[in-house]
Amino acid sequence: NAGVTQTPKFRILKIGQSMTLQCTQDMNHNYMYWYRQDPGMGLKLIYYSVGAGITDKGEVPNGYNVSRSTTEDFPLRLELAAPSQTSVYFCASSYGKESEAFFGQGTRLTVV
Amino acid sequence: QKEVEQNSGPLSVPEGAIASLNCTYSDRGSQSFFWYRQYSGKSPELIMFIYSNGDKEDGRFTAQLNKASQYVSLLIRDSQPSDSATYLCAVNWPGGGADGLTFGKGTHLIIQP
């Protein structure tokens, strides 16, 4: 089982560039999440989705956008990258709201 | 304000001893609680989850929940060097939205051989 797959694993962006972080899961989970983790900090929720076609903001959504056209895919879009977006990004999915979250392997993004 | 508090450590424990990790949360109505282990440079992986007051045991791990005190802990018995990692406490909040889990900053645990 692949679980939650994220691409790319590493990326360096210049200030002002844009990119999309890809996330796909094969567990047929309705709930999907994007978190960012800064050094020495816990994970902060960026966006989440409860099903295809439904997305909502988390704690730190500014500078990001998401879409959920299928159950499997939940891409995260960064527009006009800023140094403050340097972080490790984790995609996760869960069966339900009360269920454990399964994480992808993470994307380490550096904005210079 | 949704808050999950953990002592960041590092917490240093001799090999073979019991490691005790603690977590407090701000919302008395929280329903589900999770402990994740995260090795450096890796993604979080679930260790334990607990929904009801009391203790829940799984091998060397025991999760303890006290909803009245808004307190959840993780005990690791017979600590091994491979247990050295950051342990993240996560809480799921009540309410209608999915919202995801709110994570503490994590406790860095070091098991000394």
Q: List, in order, residues 6 or more apart from B4 with CB less than 8 Å away.
A: A42, B23, B24, B25, B26, B89, B90, B91, B102, B103, B104
Q: List, in order, residues 6 or more apart from A89 with CB less than 8 Å away.
A: A6, A21, A34, A35, A36, A37, A46, A76, A106, A107, A109
Does residue B1 register a pLDDT over 70?
Answer: no
Among A102-111, B55-64, B100-109, whose mean pLDDT is lowest?
B100-109
Q: How far is B80 from chain A (nearest CA, A)?
A: 23
List, for residues A56-70, the tens digit of each pLDDT value.
998 899 999 999 999
Residue-level pLDDT at B30: 80
Interface contact B103-A42, CB threshold 8 A: yes
List, for residues A21-45, the tens digit of each pLDDT value.
999 999 999 999 999 999 888 899 9
Sort out which chain B residues have CB atoms less than 8 A from A95's CB and list them: none
Does residue B10 register a pLDDT over 50?
Answer: yes
Does residue B93 register a pLDDT over 80?
Answer: no
Residue-level pLDDT at B96: 46
What contacts 24+ positions apart, CB below 8 Å, involve A94-100? A94/A29, A94/A31, A94/A33, A95/A27, A95/A29, A95/A30, A95/A31, A96/A30, A96/A31, A97/A31, A97/B92, A97/B98, A97/B99, A98/B31, A98/B32, A98/B51, A98/B92, A99/A31, A100/B34, A100/B46, A100/B49
Number of C-beta neighbours around residue A35 at 10 A? 28
What mean pLDDT is predicted for residues B14-24? 97
Largest interatomic CA distance in chain A: 38
Interface contact B42-A48, CB threshold 8 A: no
Does residue A19 register a pLDDT over 80?
Answer: yes
Using the Cβ of B31 and the Cβ atoms of chain A, whether some distance falls under 8 Å is answered with yes
What mean pLDDT is predicted for residues B63-82? 96
Q: Report which of residues A106 and B97 the model is more confident about.
A: A106
Using the Cβ of B15 and the Cβ atoms of chain A, whether some distance falls under 8 Å is answered with no
Does residue A20 register a pLDDT over 80?
Answer: yes
Band of pLDDT at residue B95, cut at 50, 70 and 90? low
Does residue B94 register a pLDDT over 90?
Answer: no
CB B107 within 8 A of CB B9: yes
Q: What's the rounded Cα separation, in Å, for the pair A42 and B35?
A: 12
What mean pLDDT is predicted for residues B33-37? 95
Q: What's the rounded Cα separation, in Å, for the pair A81 and B102?
A: 25
Residue-level pLDDT at B89: 95
Structure tokens at B74: 């993780």
Q: What is the percent of chain A where pLDDT is above 90?
A: 86
